A = this chain, B = another copy of it.
Amino acid sequence: MSNNEQENRISQAIVSRLPRYLRYLTELETDGVERISSRELSSIMRVTASQLRQDLNNFGGFGQQGYGYNVSYLRDEIAKLLGMNDEHFLVIIGGGRFGKILAKNMNFNNSGFVLKGIFDNDEAVIGTDIDGHIVMSMDKLSDFVRENRIEIAVLTIPKESAKAVANGLCRTGISGIWNFSHTDLDMPDNIQVENVHLSDSLMRLSYRINEYRKNHAG
């Protein structure tokens, strides 16, 4: 067990850009493009070629001087970095509306995210069928996570109970939480948290609309 958390420390800004790179490279591959230079790709993606090369070079020399990057190879390397070549088992916690929609759309693009179970603590929901999954009681969560090698818990419960449920998750051996609850979670280092706060996103849009209007007011 190495204790060196600093090695290979990649900034969040760079990690955030990786999925977008993957998306464009996948499209290029689909279109049959074999090779591409940083200049071409950066122009398509509207970023600087410098940033593109800097970003990629954090992970290794994926290109070749005088040639550029092989699209398929680069795409695959980024896919690997993002764990897209492995399977990831998930559970959804919260069988409400949002949980349902995620249950039905989880395996997007044949990426390896596999929904293994749905949990809820509402007696009225437990036992019901959501897209082929029988909703289970929260009591069973801990055992289920262990037995099914669950990696990620998707939190789609109201913010009131989110912190308590998240704390309970700490002892189950989960590796990450995809948090749709509208609250911040305070997890130990060994559990990664990715927040999706939809209302925050809508507010940012609202801010920018406002701002544009102010700056262009008659």
Residues of A near any B CB (own CB < 8 A): 1-2, 4-5, 7-8, 10, 15-16, 18-20, 22-23, 81-84, 88, 97-98, 100-101, 104-105, 108-109, 111, 113, 151-152, 175-176, 178, 182-184, 189-190, 192-194, 196-218
Contact = CB atoms under 8 A, between A and B. Distances in A.
A117 to B, nearest CB: 17
B151 A88 contact: no
Given A2-B216, A97-B104, A215-B2, A192 B178 contact: no
A83 B200 CA distance: 12
A200 B178 CA distance: 12
8 contacts: A1-B218, A8-B215, A23-B182, A108-B199, A111-B203, A151-B209, A178-B202, A192-B212
Nearest to A101: B101
Given A210-B81, A215-B7, A192 B175 contact: no
Contacts of A218: 1
Contacts of A198: 108, 196
A28 to B, nearest CB: 14
